[in-house]
Structure 1
Amino acid sequence: MEQHLDKYKSFFKHFLSLVNPADQLPVKITICNIKKLEVIGSILDWILQYLKSWNCPDSLITPLAKIILDEVKPILKTSECPYYSQELEVYSSLQLMQYVISKIQEICPRYLEDEQILSLSVPNQEHYISVFATKNRRRYMEDCHVIIRDLQKLFNIKDIGCINYYAIFDGHNGSGAAAYAAAHLHQFLAESPFYPMHPEQALCEAFKATDKHLLEKEDSQMAKSGTTAVCILWHQTEKMLYSAWVGDSEAILVKKGHIFRLVEPHKANRTDEQDRIKNMGGAVIFWCTVWRVNGQLAITRAIGDSEHKSCIISTPDVGSLQLEGDEDFIILACDGLWDCVEYTEAAQLVYEHVVSSPGKKKKY
């Protein structure tokens, strides 16, 4: 049996030996009632949360998530779905989540059989990913990150090669906006009529759609959270890198010791952003050593932030870069890192880790 199949079988055995079907809240639910247009993103969010909590191999997550999603979809037919309210036109997230988890627990044991496990797709060339997150002194975590290999396979988009999606969301005034964007931005991206042929335009549309639907939901719930966002699309087949961002989270690409900024953060000290905000009727005030929009936000673009929406826009800046194949790595991080660590220092730390642990994959 090939090495990846040994790894998969080990995961399924571990899962079957420890899974507890009576665990009714195995993942975080951030939305009480889910609209039709949000349901696929929410289901995928639960599946990814659950599989990652079990340390599912990275190369297995996407094919397994697609199998699970395909088996869940038939129940979503609203005329017969027991978790859908015809009157309110929403799904009950708790009941639907419990059904999704039960399907995962039903599906995974099948792949202990050799015939079934051999049907799983062969993974694309793997690349190493390290993740670190901390809430620091806050009472609870307001940030989210998303890693999706083979985005096109997850959404059944054919004949475009392998595209990987990475995103960081730095929430403020609560975790709602970051959690919503983490669950739905890639969904709206994949569903965009501009994707995959025009990825930059699709990214712009996905940011705007995420913002629009988040504001509608938060208005009904009297919430006012917001989030920065930086996401990267890596088209492995075409060797293209696409970036899109709002706010002050950043991404850098490092190649042979040289650093290339992929993001120009939307901070309130930027004169072009100050001019835009003033033209929209807002104000930029220097307060507590930082320039702030309306004396509050230090960023000029974000997803959410309904009370500042007259001048805090969700339109991202986007960029593209042709890769040459000799790039070393990319770092995505929120301002919690970049306010304390210089680009060169961050790159050096990664190089030192790679040298000290050659060939080893670590997650933090």
Structure 2
Amino acid sequence: MSKTQLTEMEEEARCFLGRFVEEFPAALEEGSPLPVSPLSCKVSLEELHGESLELGLRLLAARSAPSGLSALLCQAALSQLLKNDLSPFHCLQETEANQEEEEQVVLLQSEAVQHLFLNKLIHVALAWHKDLPKLSLSTSRISHCSVHSIKNTRRKMEDKHLALAEFNQLFGIQDEVERSYYAVFDGHGGVDAAIYSATHLHVALSKEETLQSDTSMAFKAAFKHTDDMFRGKAKRERLRSGSTAVAVLIHGQELTVAWLGDSQAVLVKKGQVVTLMNPHKPEREDEKQRIEDLGGCITFIGCWRVNGTYAVSRAIGDFDQKPYVSGDADCSTIPLLGDEDYVLLACDGFFDAINPSEVPFLVLDALQQTLDPDGGRDTPPEHSEDSVRQRVAEKLVGYAKAGGSSDNITVMLVFLRPLDQLLTTGAAQAT
């Protein structure tokens, strides 16, 4: 990054901090309403990490904070929060007659402890506004991402997603490897499992000791840990939902994808699809065999279902059908050579209507319609590159809906090359 770019980012940070401290010139008063609502009423100490970061990032994003600064502010505020004695926020234990003592988990009153977290965040912002320290403000080289979601014809929206280009900054990782994280979660039977996964999976991944040496192993462990954590919440709150997931970590010159269920990630390189994964479906022969070996069965009731219930064979949650619906993720890692175009992540609402082989042609069509409405080569003046990228994601969702999908649809595009190069490559492939 050039000195000029760094100066511009520092100036952007100072401008935002100035606006932020105008809105929050002092700590929130005790008992005052929070400017953003916590996800839960009660949280375990382990869940506090993910829920605080989610709350802080949501608060800052709503105020158009630079993403790199947001990550650093939240990381600093959480570090300060965890140094506090949190015992005053403990909930009274309600032991059920059939609950064993070792299963007791200390829960915190979420609104009260998040009030403290936000005051830590305000305190850091006030300090940095007065004297901006030397910060690692440079964002990842993979920072261009667009996403679009629709409820479609379903009664509820049960998809969730997360794009985190500043993975290292958010978790205070200071090695030489840049990391960016992207994930799509497709909930069923309610949105709780999808929300939980979007809040905690990346946190669990950041804590895995093998993250720097074996990313696939770290991902698998993080999925299992998130599933185990959600089991505790589901038991406490009598939740029955589940969620498929697909997550991508771009780390250095490698890309690792991890998945549970039928959400998918597709890599496009020089206009051609590179297969990253094989989605888990009940009718997949090895999945069918695994379930039958456990004593379960696959039946067709409108679609293939595990034991006549869920239409997914692997998911976070769905504890009434574990281990038939497995919580074990699969992973794959490939090298990045610099000629990759983009990664597309989407739920099955997209892939039910769109074959992965169609993705390059649809992205090219969407780009051409947006960038070259009159057959020219120049971006229309009313369109920034960011708005063009966003329109591509919107058009892809529209293609899936027009193709007959009635499910929730979420599409995330992580661009690995400039748009003009994508157009040139795509046009060459088309001819």
Confirm or deny that 1:318 pairs with 2:331: yes
Match of 2:159 among 143, 148, 168: 143
Confirm or deny that 1:83 pairs with 2:89: yes
Match of 1:301 among 314, 317, 323: 314
Deviation at 1:209, TM superposition (A): 0.9
* Structure 1 counterpart of 2:90, one-letter code: Y
Match of 2:170 among 142, 154, 158: 154
Distance of 2:79 and 2:366 partners within structure 1: 39
Structure 1 residues 271 and 26: alpha-carbon distance in aligned structure 2, compared to 1, 3 A threshold: farther
Distance of 2:36 and 2:276 partners within structure 1: 33
Cα pair 1:83 1:95 within 8 Å, conserved:
yes
The aligned counterpart of 2:292 is 278
**1:1-364 matches, cutoff 5 A:** 2-17=7-22, 24-75=33-84, 77-78=85-86, 81-85=87-91, 87=93, 89-113=106-130, 115-116=131-132, 119-126=134-141, 127-236=143-252, 239-288=253-302, 290-352=303-365, 356=371, 357=379, 360-362=385-387, 363=390
Deviation at 1:273, TM superposition (A): 0.6
* Structure 1 counterpart of 2:88, one-letter code: P
Cα pair 1:254 1:347 within 8 Å, conserved:
yes
Deviation at 1:359, TM superposition (A): 6.6
User: What TM-score do the two structures reach when normalised by structure 2?
Assistant: 0.76
Cα pair 1:60 1:123 within 8 Å, conserved:
no
- 1:44 is paired with a residue of what secondary structure? helix
What is the total number of aligned residue pairs between the two structures?
Answer: 356
Cα pair 1:42 1:183 within 8 Å, conserved:
yes
Structure 1 residues 125 and 317: alpha-carbon distance in aligned structure 2, compared to 1, 3 A threshold: closer
Deviation at 1:14, TM superposition (A): 3.8
User: What TM-score do the two structures reach when normalised by structure 1?
Assistant: 0.89
Deviations 1:30-72 (A, max 9, x none): 3322122222122112112222222222232322222222222
Cα pair 1:144 1:168 within 8 Å, conserved:
yes
Structure 1 residues 133 and 214: alpha-carbon distance in aligned structure 2, compared to 1, 3 A threshold: same
Structure 1 residues 343 and 359: alpha-carbon distance in aligned structure 2, compared to 1, 3 A threshold: farther
Larger-Rg structure: 2
Distance of 1:333 and 1:12 partners within structure 2: 35
What is the root-mean-square deviation of aligned Cα atoms in Å? 2.5
Deviations 1:4-42 (A, max 9, x none): 123223333443455696883544533322122222122
348-357 or 270-279: which moved more? 348-357
Structure 1 residues 233 and 103: alpha-carbon distance in aligned structure 2, compared to 1, 3 A threshold: same
- 1:130 is paired with a residue of what secondary structure? strand
- 2:268 is paired with a residue of what secondary structure? strand
Deviations 1:118-176 (A, max 9, x none): 52223145431112122223444322112222423322333242111111111111111
Distance of 1:13 and 1:339 partners within structure 2: 47
Q: Note the residue ranges of structure 1 that are not aligned, 5 or more in a row.
A: none
- 2:323 is paired with a residue of what secondary structure? coil
Cα pair 2:140 2:166 within 8 Å, conserved:
no
- 1:273 is paired with a residue of what secondary structure? helix
Distance of 1:202 and 1:56 partners within structure 2: 30
Identity percentage of aligned residues: 32
Cα pair 2:54 2:199 within 8 Å, conserved:
yes
Q: Note the residue ranges of structure 2 that are not aligned, 5 or more in a row.
A: 94-104, 372-378, 392-431
- 1:231 is paired with a residue of what secondary structure? strand
- 1:147 is paired with a residue of what secondary structure? strand
Cα pair 1:62 1:149 within 8 Å, conserved:
no
